[in-house]
Structure 1
Amino acid sequence: MSRALGGDALAKRNALVLALAQALGGASPAIVVSLGGLVGQTLADKELATLPVSLINLGLASGTIPAAMLMRRLGRRSAYILAGLIGVIAGSLAAAGIGAASFPLFCLGTFVAGFWGSYTQSYRFAATDTASESFRPKAISWVMVGGLAAGIIGPQTVIWTRDLIGSAPFAGAFLGQAVLALLTIVVVSFLRAAPVTTVSKTGGRPLSEITAQPRFIVAVVAGLVSYGLMSFIMTAAPLAMIGCGHSIGEAALGIQWHILGMFGPSFFTGSLIARFGKVQVTAAGLLLIAVAAVIGLSGITVAHFWATLILLGIGWNFGFIGATTLVTECYRPEERTKVQAANDFLVFGSVAVASFSSGKLLNAGGWDNVNWLVFPPVLIALALLAWQKRAKAPVPA
């Protein structure tokens, strides 16, 4: 009992450090999402406008396995410090791309930003390294609360710095992104997480055996549907708003409200999971995403777009935190690094596909088409969760 208490004391300290790192690092995607499509329209053809946003998701998916290998070799803290340097490079490349009117260079910057994001996304798992089983949902939620601050920091960085360099509109925001990455390095240096090393010489069960577990499959599907649909709608929303006659500022504020919706519920999501269960909270998140699509289909006023984005964010929070908690039940301590990497590769690979297709589908069928495509994946994920609820397997010893 005393060991559990001691472990949770360390887990709470680390969760606070990681929450602050999330506040800074989590602002990066908000900057890219808010401006990526607009810069894309300026530097390239309309059909390629959302490519920079899609590339951050591709970079995220591509970086998950290398990030896991580096964390396993160096430990969380050292890997996160190196990742901060990657973030500095990402923002600098994107700003240079705007300054040189080079679409490929700008896209390289957003891709590298995604690579940095593969480390920041693992903060939620890092918070569980020293946590007891009962504290894990709350540890994840604590880290995700940092995203609430990111929801303000990212859009406000856009608003205050986008015109900082008169000859290169929006370049200042990406220099701001680089500064945020630099600050993240300072924060993660205070991390005192458990070393990410294997407990047994064999490294646990083969990955193929772990990923074949029905509960792992259900957890991954729930996570990729929650995150994939969120990215799918969020990528299209700013361009759809501007296409409907709304301003850049209204689109940026819409993303801000969306990110607040994504992370604000983290104050109580862990408690909801403890009270109602992981499957129930995950299912509630998926249903909220479906409701967001219904609102998106019902009108094109600023209020409709903002309501869609807010509910989309809340639904993502419940669905993604619930799915993440389900994943933590699928592995033993010595297996955590490879299983977490496999989960994130699958989830963020689907996010990249969703983001790539979002712009094309918006141009081809409009905002309504984007929203109608939400419902089939939600129904599939809900059906799998209902099936999993009946199958109660023991947690790995």
Structure 2
Amino acid sequence: MSAPSLTSDAAAPRADGLARHNALVLACAQALGGANPAIVVSLGGLVGQVLAQNKELATLPVSLTNLGLALGTVPAAILMRRVGRRSAYICGAAICVFAGCLAAFGIASASFVLFCLGTFISGLYGSFVQSYRFAATDSASDAFKPRAISWVMTGGLAAGIIGPQTVIWTRDLIPAAPFAGGFLGQAGLALLSLVVVSFLRPPPAPASRASAGAPGGRPLRQIVAQPRFIVAVAAGLVSYGLMSFIMTAAPLAMIGCGHPVGAAALGIQWHILAMFGPSFFTGRLIGRFGKGPVTAAGLLLIALAAAIGLSGLTIAHFWGTLILLGIGWNFGFIGATALVTDCYRPEERTRVQAANDFLVFGAVAVASFSSGKLLNAGGWESVNWLVFPPVIVALILLAWQKSGKVPAAT
């Protein structure tokens, strides 16, 4: 009996040594790739106002980035499955180099269509970046998986600084084409990311289980029908969808209440710091208290953020909402990601991860499309009231799983 135990104990450090290396590489790649949407969000609406004949379409480039992210999850997963994570990530970074150059050319040639195509393609790159958190768990032990995810997410903290600074330093690079330099900067960051991901080391090939019935594991419909998968996806969908929903509306609501643009921008900056700052310890919290409780805490914080939003319209109320929203997203999304890793076998990971991200980021795309319209129709108060029903549903599902009545993954 002692021999298997010794083998297992010896294998775990080796596996986590590889996982630590890959998590660090992916955290650096996240810092570069995560700056991609920050650049589009910062400049997309401004460029849209200049290039779009119909000014109601000014924010279309930003929405197309979210749409590209959602639609790119499945093709990205297929590519990763066929050529491996490293080669696929190199390809994804190359796609963003092209996207940034295309968007810059669209600005220089005053073509709104080309600019929108560039931002849409940059969203396809985002589908590769979002899978970094899962890639960090490929060779990790069960105990290290939450921490590996957290390590990658800390890269988002750096991305929140790198993205805006890239805009500041490059937006006037081409005087004849304002803001085109920002998208050339986006291409430059993707080129650096291409170099970083080349240091990723492949994990050992997973051994197919006899019960899988096929080298690729179980049919996807069987996996996604698992109650555990449904709970995990619901938690991630609610956490990310509501974060996007409120974050998109908050700056518009602040300006509508008479607050200065600078206050709105500073609120978003604090929100981004709150989103990724807790990643330094979220993995440890999950290790101590469990995935479900930390995910539930995140959902409760999102609900508390909405409650603060309903309690007043001062700058302090808006900032408090955005900061708690960011922390709640961090706990909820990282916890939900960790829950997803319990739902599949090694040979099934890319398909299941893609299914999860398609559902989650599809919801994010819908949230970003609908937030502004709902704000105009019902005001900031209605946006916050709409937070509570999905949070309650997600908490009920997590409580159901905690009760032990949810069947274990097979």
Normalising to structure 2: TM-score of the pair? 0.91
- 1:305 paired residue among 309, 312, 318: 318
> Shift in Å at residue 297 of structure 1?
3.0
Q: Residue 79 in 1 paired to residue 88 in 2?
A: yes
Aligned to 1:233: 246
Answer whether contact 1:71 1:196 (CA < 8 A) is retained: no
Corresponding position of 1:117: 126
Report what 1:7 is aligned to.
15
Q: Which residue of 2 aligns with 1:260?
A: 273
SS in 1 for 2:56: helix
Whether the 8 Å CA contact 2:139–2:204 is kept in 1: the answer is no
Q: Tell me the equivalent position of 2:198.
A: 189
Q: Does 1:321 align with 2:334?
A: yes
Contact 1:77 1:188 in 2 (8 A): yes
Whole-Å separation in 2 of the counterparts to 1:62 and 1:196? 28
Q: Which has the larger radius of gyration?
A: 2
Q: Using the alignment, how far apart are the partners of 1:280 and 1:364 within structure 2? A: 35
In structure 2, relative to structure 1, the CA distance for the partners of 1:308 and 1:35 (3 Å cut) is farther
Give the superposition deviation at 1:128: 0.4
Contact 2:240 2:364 in 1 (8 A): yes
Change (3 A) 1:283 1:86: same
Instruction: Give the aligned partner of residue 386 of structure 1.
Output: 399
**Residues 303, 95 of structure 1: alpha-carbon distance in 2 compared, 3 angstrom cutoff:** farther
* Counterpart secondary structure, 1:191: coil
The alignment partner of 1:342 has SS state of helix
> Structure 1's 90 and 365: CA in aligned 2 closer, same or farther, altered over 3 A?
farther
- 1:349-376 Cα offsets, whole Å, 9 max, x none, are 1111111112222333333332222221
Match of 1:339 among 340, 347, 352: 352
Q: Measure how far apart 1:265 and its partner are.
A: 0.4
Q: Quick one: structure 1 residues 159 and 375, their matched pair in 2 at CA, closer, same or farther if it must change by over 3 Å?
A: farther
Q: CA RMSD of the aligned region, Å? A: 2.1
Give distance in 2, aligned partners of 1:256 and 1:127. 27
- Does the CA contact (< 8 Å) of 2:31 and 2:158 recur in 1? yes
Aligned in 2, Cα 1:331/1:75: closer, same or farther, shift over 3 Å? same
2:184 to 172, 175, 179: 175
Describe the shift of the 1:285–1:365 C-alpha distance in structure 2 as closer, same or farther (beyond 3 A). Answer: same
Q: Which amino acid aligns with 2:137?
A: T
Q: How high is the TM-score relative to the length of structure 1? A: 0.94
Q: CA 1:361–1:195 in 2, change beyond 3 Å: closer, same or farther?
A: farther
8 A Cα contact 1:155 1:253, kept in partner: no
Does residue 210 of the first structure (1) align with residue 210 of the second (2)?
A: no
SS in 2 for 1:134: coil
- Counterpart amino acid of 2:43? L
After TM superposition, the structure 1 stretch with the greater mean CA deviation from structure 2, 374-383 or 155-164, is 155-164
Aligned-pair identity (%): 78
> Aligned partner of 2:45: which letter?
G
Amino acid at match of 1:32: V
Write the distance in 1 (CA, Å) between the matches of 2:119 and 2:321: 25
Q: Whole-Å Cα distance in 1 between the matches of residues 247 and 277 of structure 2?
A: 17
Name which structure has the greater RCO, CA cutoff 8 Å, separation 6+.
Answer: 1
What code does the residue aligned with 2:379 have? G
Q: For residue 16 of structure 1, give the secondary structure of its aligned residue in structure 2.
A: helix
- 1:83 Cα shift? 0.5
SS in 1 for 2:177: coil
Equivalent of residue 208 in structure 2, options 180, 199, 203: 199
Deviations 1:70-96 (A, max 9, x none): 001111111101100111122222222
Secondary structure of the structure 2 residue equivalent to 1:329: coil
Correspondences of 1:89-104 after superposition (within 5 Å): 89-104=98-113
Find the residue that maps to 2:203 and give its secondary structure: coil
Q: Describe the shift of the 1:338–1:284 C-alpha distance in structure 2 as closer, same or farther (beyond 3 A).
A: same
| Structure 2: unaligned runs, 5 residues or longer | 1-8
